[in-house]
Amino acid sequence: MEKINSPLKNPICFVAPGASSVDVRVRTPPSVAWSRLAYGLFQRTVKQNIRLLREVRGELQKNKIASAENESELLVRHFSGLERLDFFTGQFGVSPAARRRIKNAVKERLRGNPLGTVLGEAPFYGRTFFVSKHTLIPRFETEVLVEAVLKILKKEKLHAPEILDVGTGSGILAISLTLERRDCTMTALDSSAKALAVAKKNALFHGVDREIRFLKSDLFEKLGCRFKGHWDFIVSNPPYIAREDFKHLPREVLVEPRLALDGGADGLKVIRRVLDRAPYYLKKGGWIFLEIGSGQADLLRKNGTLAGYKDLRFVRDLNGIERVLAAQNG
């Protein structure tokens, strides 16, 4: 049998002695055959992955989830454990077990649970944090608070500042500030043992579990009369939603911990308590930073709550709302 050239690009052709051209057999090399098979499998997997993604997106859209496009991909990839490239190129498919997890997660989301609670994690200040039904879901507005604290820290040129986080929740403030300022000494308080468990888990995950002291305390209660004039900075994202405003909140916000949301009749109940007690624990010239709600800056300016503080500043968020109060101990 003699080898002849083939007009085809890849195949090798053999012609038996005495055979006519119609008897020419084309044999594809094994490597090419495997490539074609693999390509076919990838294509099939891609179609299956995309079909699943569309099904999840359709369920979310049908139930009026505003960010269905983004959430569908987050849910599918999170519970399948697939990287984006692997998912959309068909390198890996979604296993039956993963499909069951995704189905259950979609049900939880449609019951009104926040996406972060369903995923068990949420982004904040460029990092990922564990969250649970016992903690608030981190929001961008709180990043404004972190930026405000870091700005004053830099301006004051403090070395090894003592910082107190009141109502730490999942620990996002305490941990973010500790990671940004590794020279600080951080103490974090919260009245919820379950929230503190999440905060400690986050601290361990981010490698600062030995740098933050966590205490179970309703605001400053655990501190008592100790630590007078001890802290350079006190930071807090307290409950500040007015009772009247709860009826206007989205369903997924209403399932978050009420204790971390409810600011009393005008939203300032807890803020007043913090502002009233903070000067005792702050050093002379120390700073307090509080996240506040829309319209509350004007209330605080008028009602005398800020008497005794100086250098009052209100920092606006991207929506132009005065979102953070910064004030210096007089």
CATH number at residue 198: 3.40.50.150
Dihedral over Cα of 82, 88, 90, 95: its sign: positive
**Does 248 lie in the same domain as 115?**
no
Q: Retrieve residue 48's tokens.
A: 């299956």
**Does 57 lie in the same domain as 147?**
no
Residues 102, 75: contact at Cβ < 8 Å? yes
3-state secondary structure of 313: strand
**Does 170 lie in the same domain as 76?**
no
User: The domain spanning residue 115 has which CATH number?
Assistant: 1.10.8
**Does 71 lie in the same domain as 137?**
no
pTM of the entire predicted model: 0.85
3-state secondary structure of 169: coil
Is 31 a member of any domain?
Answer: no
Q: Where are the alpha helices (DSSP H) in 18-126?
A: 30-62, 68-80, 84-89, 96-110, 115-119
What is the pLDDT at residue 303? 84
**Does 285 lie in the same domain as 157?**
yes
Q: At what angle do helices 68-80 and 96-110 cross, to 10 degrees?
A: 140
Domain count, the chain: 2
What is the pLDDT at residue 20? 46
**Does 297 lie in the same domain as 191?**
yes
**Does 173 lie in the same domain as 110?**
no
**Does 318 lie in the same domain as 194?**
yes
**Does 133 lie in the same domain as 281?**
yes
Residue 162 domain boundaries: 121-329
Burial code (b: 16+ CB inside 10 Å, e: under 16) for 32-43 equals: eeeeeeeeeeee
Q: Report the alpha-carbon distance of residue 77 to residue 50 in Å, rounded.
A: 11
CA distances from 46 to 34, 73, 91, 228 (A): 18, 14, 8, 63
Residues 175, 292: contact at Cβ < 8 Å? no
**Does 160 lie in the same domain as 95?**
no
pLDDT values of the chain reduced to their tens digit, one per residue, 330 residues: 443 343 444 444 444 444 444 444 445 455 554 455 455 567 889 899 999 999 999 999 999 998 999 999 999 999 999 999 999 988 899 999 999 999 999 999 999 999 999 999 999 999 999 999 999 999 999 999 999 999 999 999 989 999 999 999 999 999 999 999 999 999 999 999 999 999 999 999 999 999 999 999 999 999 999 999 999 999 999 999 999 999 999 988 999 999 999 999 999 999 999 999 999 999 999 999 999 999 999 999 988 889 889 999 999 999 999 999 999 998
Burial of residue 292 (CB within 10 Å: 0-12, 13-18, 19+) is buried
Residues 26, 6: contact at Cβ < 8 Å? yes
Is 254 a member of any domain?
Answer: yes
Summarize pLDDT for 267-324 with one digit per residue, the tens.
Answer: 999 999 999 999 999 999 999 999 999 999 999 998 888 988 999 999 999 999 999 9
Is 37 a member of any domain?
Answer: no
Q: Report the alpha-carbon distance of residue 239 to residue 268 in Å, rounded.
A: 8
3-state secondary structure of 191: coil
**Does 225 lie in the same domain as 101?**
no
Q: Report the alpha-carbon distance of residue 110 to residue 211 in Å, rounded.
A: 39
3-state secondary structure of 170: coil
Q: Report the alpha-carbon distance of residue 115 to residue 56 in Å, rounded.
A: 14
Among 67, 84, 119, where does a domain finish? 119
What is the pLDDT at residue 289? 98
**Does 128 lie in the same domain as 250?**
yes
Reported as type and span, the H/E element at residue 232 is strand 231-236
3-state secondary structure of 7: coil
Among 86, 119, 152, where does a domain finish? 119
Among 119, 146, 162, where does a domain finish? 119
3-state secondary structure of 127: strand
Instruction: Single out the residue of 209, 163, 159, 157 nearest to residue 189, CA to CA.
Output: 163
Reported as type and span, the H/E element at residue 214 is strand 212-216
